[in-house]
Amino acid sequence: MNLAEAYNELMEHSKEVIMLNNIRSILYWDFETYIPSKSVQQRSEQFGYLATKIHEKTTCSRIGELLKLIKEDSAYDSLNEIEKRNVYLVERESTREIKVPADLVAEIAKQSTIAVQAWKKAKAKAPTNNNAYHEIFKPELDKILNLSVKRANYLDPDKSPFDVLLDEYEPGMTSEMVDVLFKELKEGLIPLIKKCMNSPNQPDKSILSRKIPIIIQEKLAIEAAKEVFYDLERGRIDTTEHPFTTGFYDDVRITTHFYETDFTNSLYSVMHEGGHGIYNQNMPKEYIYQPVGTYCSLGFHESQSRWMENLIGRSHEFWEHFFPKFKEITGDIFSDVSLESMLHAVNVVEPSKIRVTSDEVTYCLHVIIRFEVEQELLSGKITTEELPQIWNQKYKEYLGVDIEHDAEGVMQDTHWAGGGFGYFPTYALGNMYSAQMQATMKKELSDYKELIRTGNSKPIFDWLVKNVHRYGNRYDPPALIKKITREELSPKYFLNYLEEKYSSLYGF
């Protein structure tokens, strides 16, 4: 078997794994949108089947043989950059998967389902029962935490569990690197928040609660999707409890949730998920069934969603362009509202308890709290017993808010219940990537703001397609950010962006 044959066979294996993932994403979408209420058990059997198949295909001994053949072949260097990357990515994934015993994989899958159920139950009870976290959630959280640490130790016993898990979401990123970035970020954010809070120039948030019928919000959602160039001929928008994006290339699905008296919820979740959506729609089609044909990292994915939601969707220029259309669609609901009032309202800075609804300036502090707590939890420095108390202290210290119960505290997110340790930093990294890339883009598209203001932002979209989406998974995040911006990741661009924007909004 020569090099080309071995490589092609390896790619056939990859194709199958990607195909199964693709199929799974459609079943997942259906599960979250239209599945009949009593069909859940049957679907979970299908998910179990697909998970097993994907694990089998990723770890089968033939992959090891093919990798050996390829890497030991004297012609190995004749492979091009893309081919070498594919080989590297298959090896990384299969080496990782092989290290974890199959029964641990199954146990984690099972325990995460149990823990998510317990989390839901405990979260619902927490507002009226102070012990809900301890009685219902903690025992299951302990189990999934221990299993996750066990898994991390299988993957790399020489590294801290946190670093091992973070690397799965953000390859090449370490807690040390994140630590440096987050310290600088925190130091910049805290005074900025204070300046906003202390400004006499506060927005009238009440306009955001004006009632907009769902049918009108649906029209706004379609417009918002178009604004971010989300292709509705290769995608859909549906409604679910929690918005998400799934699917890739020519079949991408985003979801949103409509609330009559909270239109920004759907408007911005469509722009956010639309940002994820365009990434998935515009990855390099020529590599659709190869490892290189997927996205770079969760952080980079978040950079696209936050770009659309915040850098564009909450910008002055965007509202200059969008407000007339918005007013036309909403009739006379906002006829008395000025552009400046609307802009300031959608950019209100206000320390709060809930990450997902927090503003652009305070958002990263929510992530930093999780990062700090999570590291200590995984290293055993703190226990789940004391977790709520530490959580609440940090919220008081960093954001000045009092957590009244664990549903608005340590149990607000589902990630840990689902075994998603090491995931949170990617949200803040996404903000930093986006601002740093925007700085580069502004140099290349000197009329950047003008493009948005005049509703001609196609060149911005094209730039993102060319510089981010089309690369697929050719580079790890540290290399990709450097390739695009010619610099390593730094919080300064994000801080500068916030400083410039919010000093103007709040007048300081």
Q: Which residues bind a copy of itself (CB under 8 A)?
A: 16, 19, 22-23, 26-27, 30, 34-39, 41-43, 45-46, 49-50, 231-236, 238, 249-251
Confirm if 327 and 335 have CB atoms less than 8 A apart. Answer: yes
> How far apart (Å, rounded) are the C-alpha atoms in residues 318 and 342?
12
Pick between residue 23 and residue 356 the one whose CB is nearest to a copy of itself. 23
At closest approach, how far in Å is the CB of 215 from a copy of itself? 14
At closest approach, how far in Å is the CB of 14 from a copy of itself? 13
What's the helix, strand, coil split of the chain in %, to 5? 70, 0, 30
At closest approach, how far in Å is the CB of 22 from a copy of itself? 7
At closest approach, how far in Å is the CB of 52 from a copy of itself? 10
At closest approach, how far in Å is the CB of 104 from a copy of itself? 20
SS (HEC) of 148-213:
HHHHHHHHCCCCCHHHHHHHHHCCCCCHHHHHHHHHHHHHHHHHHHHHHHHCCCCCCHHHHHCCCC
Ramachandran area for residue 418 (φ above 0: left; ψ -120 to 50: alpha; else beta)? alpha
Catalytic residue among 91, 97, 273, 408: 273
Q: Which residue has the tokens 């259906």?
A: 30
Pick between residue 28 and residue 300 the one whose CB is nearest to a copy of itself. 28
Pick between residue 52 and residue 95 the one whose CB is nearest to a copy of itself. 52
Q: Which residue has the tokens 């503003």?
A: 359
- In sequence order, what are the residues at sequence separation of 6 or more whose Cβ sits closer than 8 angstroms to the Cβ of residue 223? 322, 325, 326, 329
Pick between residue 232 and residue 345 the one whose CB is nearest to a copy of itself. 232
Confirm if 417 and 118 have CB atoms less than 8 A apart. Answer: yes
At closest approach, how far in Å is the CB of 308 from a copy of itself? 19
Residue 320 annotated to the active site: no
Q: Which residue has the tokens 């693709």?
A: 22
Cα torsion 238, 241, 243, 244 to 10°: value is -90
Tell me the three state secondary structure of residue 256. strand
Gap between the terminal Cα atoms of the chain: 69
At closest approach, how far in Å is the CB of 48 from a copy of itself? 10
DSSP label at residue 243? -
> How far apart (Å, rounded) are the C-alpha atoms in residues 472 and 283?
5
Q: Which two tokens stand for residue 33?
A: 């949108």
> Bridge-partner residues for 238, per DSSP?
255
Pick between residue 42 and residue 261 the one whose CB is nearest to a copy of itself. 42
> How far apart (Å, rounded) are the C-alpha atoms in residues 331 and 72?
68
> How far apart (Å, rounded) are the C-alpha atoms in residues 155 and 147?
12
Length of the chain: 508
Half-sphere exposure in the Cβ direction for 363 (13 Å, CA): 22
Pick between residue 281 and residue 392 the one whose CB is nearest to a copy of itself. 281
At closest approach, how far in Å is the CB of 57 from a copy of itself? 11
SS (HEC) of 228-258:
CCCCCCCEEEEECCCCCEECCCCCEEEEECC
Pick between residue 26 and residue 114 the one whose CB is nearest to a copy of itself. 26
Alpha helices (H) along 60-174: 61-72, 81-99, 102-125, 132, 138-155, 161-169
Pick between residue 79 and residue 254 the one whose CB is nearest to a copy of itself. 254
Confirm if 304 and 278 have CB atoms less than 8 A apart. Answer: yes
Dihedrals φ, ψ of 126, to 5°?
A: -55, -40
At closest approach, how far in Å is the CB of 40 from a copy of itself? 8
Pick between residue 236 and residue 327 the one whose CB is nearest to a copy of itself. 236
Confirm if 283 and 470 have CB atoms less than 8 A apart. Answer: yes
Active site residues: 273
